[in-house]
């Protein structure tokens, strides 16, 4: 594989994986999605594939203390049953708890499990007949979370009340003996005017090339990269050539734009000939390993992410998940961040 294909293969690699094996699998994998809300409640999506015309006899088992909080809604597709419901905890969190699939050891299928915790962390694992359970990992900073939260809260309160604090300080200083002689009131007034001017600058439009930060945190890098990648994948939902190219141009820059467009159009045409429709349902940034500043105010991000996709062929829907690790270079433009270059390090078909 030459360098150009290596750079862009992750964009259309999912498409090729989806088309090549969409109809070849005997028993399709099951899918369990759990999203934890801030109040601890769980939103559950459970997709059970058919085998010999019937749903597989498997069910997820939740930790003791998690009770059903809403009726199940069930929808049947051509090859699976999709159930949705909510779970309510009994004063406990999902992190550190065990999840398992009852009946899985007696089958020949796998279960893709995606857990999104309230703090934003993603736990993705494939359960198999030989390994039917998993433990949702705890966060590394849970032991010191209260202290950090208190410090963050204190600083946030000070920031929100900075003008009130400054006024109170000016009032106290004005009560000091000889305050007028020492110019304390004048200095305080000057500080107030300067603070208000600095606050107003935040609302003044600034050219894009001057507004980008010189440092980028892992959290900011994850948020920006997720939007760019997801927009790139979903650009090919459009049917018109011009619409596809315009959508791609919002997130991809340089020579990479033409390469991604041409490669993906070829893959999509192949899928259309086979009567298949491919959709990227979700993209999770699992980890940001490094963020490095590059020239022209850009950044190079070493990231790992998962792409969840589905193929619709007649009434059948086949789920897929691919995992990638790559260096992604992003650059600022007058309007958006854009992907300028990609160096693919690892690619794995999860299910």
Query: Is 141 inside a domain boundary?
Result: no
**Final residue in a domain of this structure, among 135, 151, 168:** 135
Query: Is 165 inside a domain boundary?
Result: no
Establish how many alpha carbons lie within 13 A of residue 68's alpha carbon, considering only the half-sphere containing its beta carbon: 8
Tell me: do 33 and 16 sit in the same domain. no
CB 88 within 8 A of CB 66: yes
Extract the tokens encoding 206. Answer: 């600034």
Query: Is 206 inside a domain boundary?
Result: no
Tell me: do 9 and 36 sit in the same domain. no
Cβ atoms within 10 Å of 203's Cβ, excluding its own: 6
pLDDT band at residue 18, thresholds of 50, 70 and 90?
very low
Tell me: do 12 and 35 sit in the same domain. no
218-250 CB burial, b ≥16 within 10 A, e <16: eeebbebbeebbbbbbebbeeeeeeebbebbeb
Tell me: do 69 and 125 sit in the same domain. yes
CB 108 within 8 A of CB 27: yes
Q: What is the rounded average pLDDT for all residues in the chain? A: 78
Query: Is 147 inside a domain boundary?
Result: no
Using the 8-state DSSP alphabet, how is residue 27 labeled? Answer: S
Tell me: do 53 and 7 sit in the same domain. no
Query: Is 290 inside a domain boundary?
Result: yes
Instruction: Specify the pLDDT at position 209.
Output: 45
Domain limits for position 127:
25-135
Tell me: do 120 and 51 sit in the same domain. yes
pLDDT at 284 over 70: yes
Using the 8-state DSSP alphabet, how is residue 139 labeled? Answer: P
For the ranges 36-50, 77-91, 136-150, 229-243, which has the lowest average pLDDT?
Answer: 136-150
Query: Is 155 inside a domain boundary?
Result: no
Tell me: do 332 and 230 sit in the same domain. yes
Query: Is 60 inside a domain boundary?
Result: yes
Tell me: do 7 and 68 sit in the same domain. no
Task: Give the containing element (helix H, strand E) for 113.
Answer: strand 111-116
Q: Note the pLDDT tens digit of each residue in 181-226.
A: 666 666 767 666 766 665 555 544 444 444 444 577 888 889 999 9
Residue 21 to residues 18, 26, 91, 165, 320, Cα–Cα distance (Å): 6, 10, 44, 64, 10
Tell me: do 230 and 288 sit in the same domain. yes
**How many residues does this entry show for the chain?**
351
The CATH number given to whatever domain includes residue 329 is: 3.10.450
CB 291 within 8 A of CB 301: yes
Instruction: Specify the pLDDT at position 232.
Output: 85
Query: What's the pTM?
Result: 0.69
Total structural domains within the chain:
2
The CATH number given to whatever domain includes residue 120 is: 2.60.40
Cα diameter, the chain: 94
Angle between helices 162-174 and 184-201 (to 10 degrees): 170
Torsion from C-alpha of 251, 256, 262, 265, nearest 10 degrees: -30
Higher pLDDT, residue 309 or 72: 72
Extract the tokens encoding 293. Answer: 């500043």
Angle between helices 255-273 and 3-21 (to 10 degrees): 20
């Amino acid at each position: 594989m030459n360098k150009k294909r290596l750079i862009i293969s992750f964009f259309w690699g999912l498409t090729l994986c989806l088309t090549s094996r969409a109809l070849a699998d005997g028993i399709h994998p099951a899918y369990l999605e759990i999203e934890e809300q801030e109040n601890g409640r769980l939103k559950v999506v459970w997709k059970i594939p058919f085998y010999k015309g019937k749903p597989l006899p498997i069910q997820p088992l939740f930790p003791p203390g998690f009770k059903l909080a809403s009726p199940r809604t069930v929808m049947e597709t051509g090859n699976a049953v999709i159930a949705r419901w909510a779970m309510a905890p009994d004063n406990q969190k999902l992190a550190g708890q065990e999840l398992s699939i009852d009946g899985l050891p007696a089958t020949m299928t796998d279960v893709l499990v995606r857990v999104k915790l309230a703090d934003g962390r993603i736990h993705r694992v494939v359960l198999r007949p030989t390994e039917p359970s998993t433990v949702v990992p705890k966060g590394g900073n849970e032991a010191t979370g209260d202290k950090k939260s208190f410090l963050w809260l204190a600083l946030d309160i000070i920031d929100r009340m900075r003008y009130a604090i400054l006024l109170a300080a000016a009032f106290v200083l004005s009560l000091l003996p000889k305050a007028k002689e020492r110019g304390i009131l004048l200095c305080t007034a000057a500080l107030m005017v300067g603070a208000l001017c600095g606050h107003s600058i935040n609302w003044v439009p600034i050219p894009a090339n001057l507004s980008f930060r010189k440092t980028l945190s892992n959290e900011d890098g994850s948020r920006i990269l997720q939007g760019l990648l997801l927009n790139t994948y979903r650009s090919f939902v459009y049917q018109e050539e011009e619409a596809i190219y315009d959508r791609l141009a919002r997130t991809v820059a340089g020579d990479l734009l033409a390469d991604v467009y041409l490669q993906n159009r070829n893959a999509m045409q192949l899928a259309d000939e086979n009567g298949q429709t491919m959709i990227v349902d979700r993209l999770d940034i699992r980890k940001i390993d490094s963020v490095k500043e590059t020239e022209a105010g850009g950044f190079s991000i070493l990231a790992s992410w998962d792409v969840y996709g589905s193929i619709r062929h007649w009434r059948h829907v086949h789920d897929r998940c691919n995992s990638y690790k790559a260096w992604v270079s992003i650059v600022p433009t007058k309007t958006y961040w854009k992907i300028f270059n990609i160096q693919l390090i690892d690619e794995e078909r999860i299910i």
